[in-house]
Amino acid sequence: MPTISPSVLPILMLFASNVFMTFAWYGHLKFKEIPLPLVIMVSWGIAFFEYWLAVPANRWAARCIRRRSSRPYRR
């Protein structure tokens, strides 16, 4: 089974997070007959899963950047 590089994984997770958030913010525009409180709850439910991807991805990406910036530059 192929593994994903630790520096690529946050990028993929943030991309998936963006897809979730797009549905959370704009998906309700197609369902105008659904009551607003239900639309709000569904949007927050989708956003919940978006945060499950975005928060770890941002932490892992920051850790990768810190590791790379702490290495001495060599020519």
Find the domain containing 52 and state its range.
9-70
User: What is the reported pLDDT for 35?
Assistant: 92
Whether residue 3 lies inside any domain: the answer is no
Whether residue 75 lies inside any domain: the answer is no
Taking the C-alpha atoms of residue 22 and residue 69, their distance in angstroms, rounded to an integer, is 32
Whether residue 4 lies inside any domain: the answer is no
Structure tokens at 45: 């439910």
pLDDT in tens, 24-71: 888 778 888 989 899 889 888 888 888 998 998 888 888 877 666 655
pTM of the model: 0.68
